[in-house]
């Protein structure tokens, strides 16, 4: 077995598109995904799971139908299952997402922003 730390900054440096999460590790049935985002995403929810956002660089806003939360560098937020939300980044944000394997980034909404799942980097 090889013992090697995962360098998140190095992995993020390999990304060249926004809103396209890439898997860097798995723990049980959960995936750890790095992603760069900028601009507005779509309204969506995840009926069967919570979703964790960890901001590594920048400042993210997650809108809800009845409010919003700001997440800065070194902060995290867990969106509860079934809660409709829409991430927004005025400037580029680098994040780590933690969610079960197989979860689509657009929930059940689909569309052009739906990223291919289970792509490792």
Query: What is the predicted pLDDT for the residue at 107?
Result: 86
- Kindly report the number of other CB atoms within 10 A of residue 52's CB atom: 16
Please return the burial class of 22, using the count of CB atoms within 10 Å of its CB with bins 0-12, 13-18 and 19+. Answer: buried
**How many domains is the chain built from?**
1
Query: What is the predicted pLDDT for the residue at 39?
Result: 97
Residue 118 lies in a domain: no
Query: What is the predicted pLDDT for the residue at 108?
Result: 81
CATH code, domain carrying 90: 2.60.120.10
Residue 106 lies in a domain: no
Residue 111 lies in a domain: no
Report the residue count for the chain. 121
- Kindly report the number of other CB atoms within 10 A of residue 24's CB atom: 19
Q: Return the C-alpha torsion angle 21, 27, 30, 31, nearest 10.
A: 0
pLDDT less than 50: residues of the chain: none
Q: Which domain holds residue 86?
A: 8-100
Residue 2 lies in a domain: no
Query: What is the predicted pLDDT for the residue at 83?
Result: 98
Residue 3 lies in a domain: no
Query: What is the predicted pLDDT for the residue at 51?
Result: 97
């Amino acid at each position: 077995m090889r013992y090697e730390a995962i360098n998140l900054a190095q992995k993020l440096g390999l990304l060249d598109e926004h809103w396209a999460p890439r898997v860097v590790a798995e723990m049980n049935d959960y995936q750890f995904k790095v992603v760069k985002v900028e601009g507005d995403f779509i309204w969506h929810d995840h009926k069967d799971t919570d979703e964790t956002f960890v901001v590594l660089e920048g400042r993210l806003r997650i809108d809800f139908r009845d409010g919003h939360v700001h997440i800065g560098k070194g902060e995290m937020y867990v969106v509860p299952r079934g809660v409709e939300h829409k991430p927004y980044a005025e400037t580029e944000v680098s994040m780590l997402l933690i969610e079960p394997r197989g979860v689509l980034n657009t929930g059940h909404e689909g569309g052009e922003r739906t990223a291919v799942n289970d792509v490792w980097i």
